[in-house]
């Protein structure tokens, strides 16, 4: 009488929807709330033994190195390469994302020799962290001020309504 | 002197509007790459809570299981102090536990003749969670209902057990803290970074945010083009989904970005062995400071406090004390 038109997900041995905690598979199915793209965390989690930054000296050109940032994207790539342009001792810096499906970018840095490319990046990162700290402070101060004014006004309006 | 920038060269923030859902502000004396990095981090790397796994115990509604599960995933959940919650993948437990998840149960049956709507307020948060607020469905409407999940007719019912986890929007957009982030610089296009197509007259046809354009100052008639000019003032308009206050999105975004950079510093310097004192103001370098970044931010106290991201470990933090504190502290 019954014709099989497909397998129920809970009967599929490889199904991620099967809930291993349940003894019986009767009527209980665990779903990912959205189970497309199971492996999206590969965009930002380092694999085992994978390093955040790897680098290689460029042998043909002095004071040059190519840094590979794993599990990072344009957020950091553009930030570092543009910021490095601000330093006089950096003569070249640019980044590329070799392939859009792999979460990594390469940053190539050349300095004038007074500092190594690696130290140039470290200095650059520290300066950005400082700027962000200043920004954060200014932001919180201003936000609190603005909210106090805002809430005071709301309170005053509420009081006026009561009267 | 620029009336909107009384602090001269230092990085500073001015608010145009602030309420419980929106932060409209401008950052001055900042640079484009950093402003854009902050925008991107706020969009996709600020952690929040969202329903991730759903156990369907009963569903006789007209909507398919997956359909409802997807809707559940998109319900904004309170993410205040989400730092208290562990990432499930970093947790020692198998599957999920009280330290890395919040369980919400939805159990509804329609018994009347009217069509019954099931709302986010009907999600019951279970006992035992990292803190008192995290994981509560966000409810902002005056009736206190929250978003509609499903409609039931007489005799239909749903019963679901939802496990909410901490995550970031890079993994799935349901973890995005912000509904939208407005970002603009140079509204008058003085720098000519934009070149929109136009029919007859660019002045008449190009869309201009009048308010921002006034703040930024209109170009003088016949003003010579400055080839060295770079943008320094950035207009942000951060709107929250509801899980985090708008200011939290910004401060957490800044923190995430700082941690990202600290990770790079650590990686590059760590390989040399510790090279100890470095070049900023005799301050201690972040990675020497113990519990800073990387693992659990044990040292992070309050977003308004003086503790910086590097906090913990005890003592003054490299960015905590005065050197960069007051106005005029930095700038390049
Ligand atoms: Zn756990």
Chain mean position to CA B248: 7
Q: Which residues of B touch A27 (CB under 8 A)?
A: 57-58
Query: Do residues B49 and B55 make contact, with C-beta atoms less than 8 angstroms apart?
Result: no
Q: Which residues of B touch A132 (CB under 8 A)?
A: 34, 38, 254, 257-258
pLDDT computed for residue B244 by the predictor: 96
Q: How many CB atoms lie within 10 A of CB A9?
A: 14
What CATH number was assigned to the domain covering residues B48-168? Answer: 2.170.120.12
What are the pLDDT digits (tens) for B155-175?
Answer: 999 999 999 999 999 999 999
Which positions ≥6 away from B99 have C-beta within 8 Å?
B85, B86, B91, B93, B130
Structural contact between residues A128 and B34, judged by C-beta atoms closer than 8 angstroms: yes
Residues of A in contact with B285 (CB under 8 A): 126
Lookup result for tokens 């003085």: B190
Q: Which of A73, A76, A87, A131 to mutate to test the interface with B (most CBs of B within 10 A)?
A: A131
Contact B187, B212 (CB under 8 A): yes
Q: Quick check: A66 contacting B, CB < 8 Å? A: no
3-class DSSP string for chain A: CCCCCCCCHHHCCCCCCCCCCCCCCCCCEEEECCCCCCCHHHHCCCCCCCCCEEEEECCCCCCEEEEEEECCCHHHHHHHHHHHCCCCCEEEEEEECCCCCCCEEEEEEEECCCCCHHHHHHHHHHHHHHHHHHHHHHHHHHHHHHHHHHHHHHHHHHHHHHC
B12-45+178-194+201-258: CATH architecture: 2-Layer Sandwich (3.30)
Candidates A78, A76, A81; CA nearest to A66 is A81
Chain B window 18-57: which residues touch A at a Cβ cutoff of 8 Å?
18-19, 23, 25, 27, 30-34, 36-38, 40-41, 45, 50-57
**The predicted structure's pLDDT at residue A36:** 55
* Tokens describing residue B299: 């040292």
Residue of A nearest to B331 (CA): A131
Q: What is the DSSP letter of B137?
A: B
Nearest to B53 among A30, A41, A51 (CB): A30
Q: Do B260 and A76 touch (CB under 8 A)?
A: yes
CATH 3.30.1360.10 domain range(s) in chain B: 12-45+178-194+201-258
Strand pairing partners for B28?
B12
Query: Would you write out chain A's pLDDT as a tens digit for each of its 163 residues?
Result: 444 444 444 444 444 444 444 444 444 556 666 655 567 778 889 988 899 999 999 999 999 999 999 999 999 999 999 999 999 999 999 999 999 999 999 999 999 999 999 999 999 999 999 999 999 999 999 999 888 887 788 788 888 877 6
**B268 with A146: Cβ contact below 8 A:** no
Q: How many CB pairs under 8 A join A and B?
A: 183
Task: List, as ranges, residues with CB under 5 A of the ion ligand 1.
Answer: B 91, 93, 97, 99-100
Contact criterion met (CB < 8 Å) for A134 and B56: no
Strand pairing report for A104-111 and A64-70: antiparallel
Class of domain A53-158: alpha beta
Cross-strand partners of B238: B23, B181
Distance (Å, whole) CA B244 – CA B78? 7
Chain position carrying tokens 């999940």: B149
Distances (CA, A) of B87 to A41, B129, B130: 12, 13, 12
CATH 3.30.1360.10, chain A: domain bounds? 53-158
Residue B230 is encoded by which pair of tokens? 């770079």
pTM of the model: 0.80
Residues in chain A: 163
ipTM over 0.90 threshold: no
């Amino acid at each position: 009488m019954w014709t099989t038109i497909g397998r129920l997900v809970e009967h599929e041995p490889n199904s991620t929807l099967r809930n291993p905690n349940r003894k019986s598979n009767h009527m209980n199915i665990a779903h990912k709330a959205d189970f497309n793209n199971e492996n999206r965390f590969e965009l930002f989690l380092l694999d085992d033994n994978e390093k955040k930054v790897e680098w290689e000296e460029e042998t043909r050109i002095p004071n040059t190195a190519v840094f590979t940032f794993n599990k990072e994207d344009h957020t950091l790539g553009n930030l570092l390469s543009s910021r490095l342009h601000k330093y006089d001792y950096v003569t070249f810096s640019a980044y590329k994302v070799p392939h859009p499906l792999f979460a990594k970018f390469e940053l190539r840095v050349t300095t004038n020799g007074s500092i190594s490319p690696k130290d140039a990046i470290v200095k650059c990162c520290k300066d950005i962290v400082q700027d962000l700290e200043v920004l954060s402070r200014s932001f919180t101060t201003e936000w609190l001020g603005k909210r106090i004014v805002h809430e005071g006004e709301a309170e005053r309006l509420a009081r006026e309504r009561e009267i | 002197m620029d009336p909107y920038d009384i602090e001269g060269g230092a990085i500073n923030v001015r608010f145009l509007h602030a309420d419980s859902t929106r932060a409209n502000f401008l950052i001055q004396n900042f640079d484009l790459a950093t402003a854009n990095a902050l925008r991107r981090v706020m969009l996709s790397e600020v952690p929040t809570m969202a329903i991730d796994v759903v156990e369907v115990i009963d569903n006789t509604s007209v909507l398919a299981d997956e359909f409802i599960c997807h809707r559940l995933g998109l319900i904004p959940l309170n993410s205040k102090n989400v730092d208290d919650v562990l990432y499930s993948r970093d947790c020692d437990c198998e599957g999920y536990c009280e330290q890395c998840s919040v369980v919400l149960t939805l159990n509804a049956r329609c018994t009347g003749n009217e069509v019954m709507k099931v709302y986010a307020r009907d999600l019951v948060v279970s006992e035992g969670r990292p803190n008192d607020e995290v994981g509560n469905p966000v409810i902002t409407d005056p009736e206190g209902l929250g978003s509609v999940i499903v409609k039931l007719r007489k005799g239909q019912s749903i019963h679901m057990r939802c496990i909410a986890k901490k995550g970031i929007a890079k993994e799935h957009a349901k973890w995005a803290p912000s509904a939208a982030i407005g970002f603009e610089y140079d509204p008058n296009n003085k720098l000519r970074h934009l070149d929109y197509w136009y029919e007859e007259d660019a002045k008449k046809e190009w869309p201009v945010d009048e308010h921002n354009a006034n703040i930024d100052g209109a170009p003088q008639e016949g003003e010579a083009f400055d080839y060295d000019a770079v943008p320094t003032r950035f207009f942000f308009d951060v709107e929250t989904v509801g899980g985090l206050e708008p200011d939290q999105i910004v401060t957490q975004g800044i923190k995430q970005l700082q941690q990202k950079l600290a990770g790079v510093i650590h990686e590059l310097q760590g390989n040399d062995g510790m090279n100890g004192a470095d070049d900023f103001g005799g301050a201690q370098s972040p990675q020497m400071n113990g519990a800073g970044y990387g693992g659990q931010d044990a040292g992070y106290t309050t977003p308004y406090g003086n503790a910086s991201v590097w906090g913990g470990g005890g003592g003054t933090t490299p960015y905590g004390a005065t050197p960069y504190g007051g106005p005029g502290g930095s700038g390049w």
